[in-house]
Amino acid sequence: MKELSKYLAEEKFYKTVVEDGSDIIFIVDYDANIVYHNPSVQKTIGYNSLSERHFFDFIHPNQLKKIKRAFKESTDLPYNSNIEFMFLCSNGEYKYLEFNSINLKHKDGIDALILDCRDISGRKKDQEELINAQKAKEQFLANMSHEIRTPVNGISGMVNLLTSTMQSKEQSKYLNAIKHSADNLKVIINDILDFSLIESGEVSLEKIGFDVDYQIKSVIASLELQASEKNLKILYNSKKKNIMVLLGDPVRLSQILINLINNAIKFTSEGSITINLRCDKISKEKAAANFEITDTGIGIKENKLEHIFDTFKQADESITRKYGGTGLGLAISRQLVELQGGTISVKSTVDIGTTFYFSIPYDLGSNIDLMHQLPGSKYGTNKNTQKKFDGIRILLVEDNDINRLYASTILKKWNCRCDEAINGEIAIELLRKNHYDLILMDVHMPVMDGLEATRMIRKNFESPKKDIPIIAFTANAIKGEKEDYMDIGMNDYISKPFVPDELHKLIAKYFLESDTANEVSSFKSPLFNLNYLNSISDGNNEFVNEIIVAFIEQTPPLLTQMTDASNSEEWVTVGDLAHKLKSNLTLVGINQIEALTQSIEIDGRGEINTDTLPSRTKLLVSTCTQAIEELSNL
């Protein structure tokens, strides 16, 4: 202890840490004048002396405003830390440094800061390399997605067209085999893309009201055909203890259930798959939704269970060869469960079956929260009720021959007039000569791609051609790309392989309302249909009445705001209000104006086709007012 005291008294500690240390030590006054610095300045950034120079003179111009703000903050705090900045070196280059500050005002009453600066150039280089590697990975996934989805789209499309014609039973069998193979390829692509998004932390979770029973039944309905082809039954049991509405992400819950039930179907050759749900309150405001998915399949060996949720792992290598798949489904399910604060586990016995357990905590909601639920099932277009688009002229821009044939055949079935282009340059020339109501624009094409063609249309053409709705028609499916397409001027997005119903729905956004743009009476009464509301109420009339009353009370103020915004030509506000109104209309089954509402939302937010927005808005408001009156009379 004596030697240590002597060491400190002789200021050897100061010399070791401050004078000979690797960190740069600055003392700067509150005006950012450099009063002192240690010798590390010479070793790290090349200056012999910076005394009486101004600290901010050496900060990179792009960071000056940020660093001045951090410096001012440091003068108000006793300590501050991890402030990154770029400092000009004697050789004219900038170096990444990071400072921690000690405020001498708080310590010794002096208006000055000690800045302990560390060279972080190596760390920043590693970060940049990581970012570049992530970008390269995302680009690879985008390219892979496009290259695989394009031929798969052709296969699926041709199968869909063939199945609508007459074939023998043997031909149908062959077509079904092709269809299943194409569907398996799509599952593999989606698994890889989903895993990439989760791994990069880009998955965002919604928090909306949903009926968990309805969600599970929808998933079961989508998988029943697949199960019936193997003579398997899907059974469902529910114990919710009066818990009706949960707040969370129903889409991610469906994704987990689809993965696990799909898995059970794949590995079960006879018997059944049973889904059990138990909801338990864990506090006044929270509930745990506990799920069990049990199959009577091949089971999993005990020594393989600990790796079952690992990435690209299956219980046995022969499983991949026999049953297919990426080995990502369970890894994705685990990550989605854990992202929502839940847990997942598995128990299995070989040749007896397997049970997956998972539990997710949710906030409790009320019936009113379902006003914001937009049930996906309402947005499928029934093949028997598809409307024709008589006379609508569409420019189809697609470089793949098979995909072009598939899409044009579908469009012609709907009585569209369809011109075709194999790249953006030809599309531009066709647009110069002709008028089109809508453009379906592939993104990746030779000569001129769809993005460049869209930029040219929006920039170089006069109205009305420059305002034509353009739908991105692409095999890419990377998160964020839809937003990029919107930024350059596209109006919407459909991913290939596409289902005809999805394309019909998109086109309907822009055109079906035009038939009745000025005639409210053309909509049949009653305007509402309570089938969906009754289906999720389980016979609870009080619940149905509560939703109707909420709609009647909450909708008129929205309609007033929409009218005012339309009169003031505040089109973005009109679009936002249409978006807010849309889910409420769906819930009480006002489906006749679904396409009208969506067209107002898209055109308002994009500030396009504004010449017809006032009349469409007027029609929407008057129809909603009539529906409110009809509901009030109930």
d(CA 509, CA 595) in angstroms, rounded, equals 5
And the tokens for 195? Answer: 């895993």
Yes or no: say if 267 and 295 are a contact pair by the CB < 8 Å rule.
Answer: yes
pLDDT value at position 519?
39
d(CA 102, CA 405) in angstroms, rounded, equals 70
d(CA 400, CA 148) in angstroms, rounded, equals 13
Measured in degrees and rounded to the nearest 5, phi and psi for residue 233 equal -100, 140
And the tokens for 583? Answer: 């889910």
Dihedral sign of CA atoms 390, 393, 397, 402 in order: positive
Q: Span 19-119: which CATH code?
A: 3.30.450.20
Distance of CA 449 to the CA centre of its chain: 24
Q: Which residue spans of the chain are classified as CATH 3.30.450.20? A: 19-119
d(CA 507, CA 463) in angstroms, rounded, equals 20
Q: Which residue spans of the chain are classified as CATH 1.20.120.160? A: 517-632
Q: How many Cβ atoms are within 10 Å of 154's Cβ, its own excluded?
A: 20
- DSSP-derived secondary structure for 258-280: HHHHHHHHHT-SSSEEEEEEEEE
pLDDT value at position 160?
67
Domain 383-509, classified CATH 3.40.50.12280, yes or no = no
Distance of CA 52 to the CA centre of its chain: 53
d(CA 479, CA 518) in angstroms, rounded, equals 39
Determine if the pTM surpasses 0.75. Answer: no
pLDDT value at position 315?
45
Dihedral sign of CA atoms 206, 211, 212, 215 in order: negative
DSSP 16: I
pLDDT value at position 514?
41
pLDDT value at position 5?
53
Cβ neighbourhood burial of 492 (10 Å; 0-12, 13-18, 19+): buried
3-class secondary structure, 603: helix
Q: What is the largest CA-CA distance in the chain?
A: 101
Q: Which residue spans of the chain are classified as CATH 3.40.50.2300? A: 383-509
Non-local (6+) Cβ contacts of 521 within 8 A are none
Q: Which residue spans of the chain are classified as CATH 3.30.565.10? A: 208-365
d(CA 279, CA 182) in angstroms, rounded, equals 37
β-sheet bridge partners, residue 597 = none
d(CA 590, CA 588) in angstroms, rounded, equals 6
d(CA 606, CA 467) in angstroms, rounded, equals 10
d(CA 467, CA 438) in angstroms, rounded, equals 10
Q: How many Cβ atoms are within 10 Å of 380's Cβ, its own excluded?
A: 12
Please tell me the number of Cα atoms within 13 Å of 421 on its side-chain side.
Answer: 27
Domain at 517-632: CATH architecture: Up-down Bundle (1.20)
Q: What is the pLDDT of residues 99-120, one digit of tens each?
A: 999 898 887 788 999 999 999 9
Cβ neighbourhood burial of 29 (10 Å; 0-12, 13-18, 19+): middle
Q: What is the pLDDT of residues 422-471, one digit of tens each?
A: 999 999 999 998 989 899 998 888 899 999 999 999 999 988 888 899 99
* Amino acid (1-letter code) at residue 409: T
And the tokens for 565? Answer: 């915004």
Which parts of the chain register pLDDT below 70? 1-21, 137-150, 153-154, 157, 160-161, 163-170, 172-174, 176-177, 179-204, 311-327, 367-388, 475-483, 497, 512-525, 532, 535-539, 634
208-365 belongs to which homologous superfamily? Histidine kinase-like ATPase, C-terminal domain (3.30.565.10)
3-class secondary structure, 33: strand
pLDDT value at position 105?
87
**What stretch of H or E contains 287?**
strand 286-295
pLDDT value at position 169?
66
And the tokens for 594? Answer: 């679904």
Q: Own/partner pairs for 103-110, CB < 8 Å, 24+ apart?
A: 103/74, 103/75, 103/77, 103/78, 103/79, 104/27, 105/75, 106/78, 107/78
Q: Are strands 438-442 and 417-421 parallel, antiparallel or unpaired?
A: unpaired
**What stretch of H or E contains 358?**
strand 353-364
pLDDT value at position 453?
93
* Amino acid (1-letter code) at residue 602: I
* Amino acid (1-letter code) at residue 587: L
d(CA 41, CA 22) in angstroms, rounded, equals 9
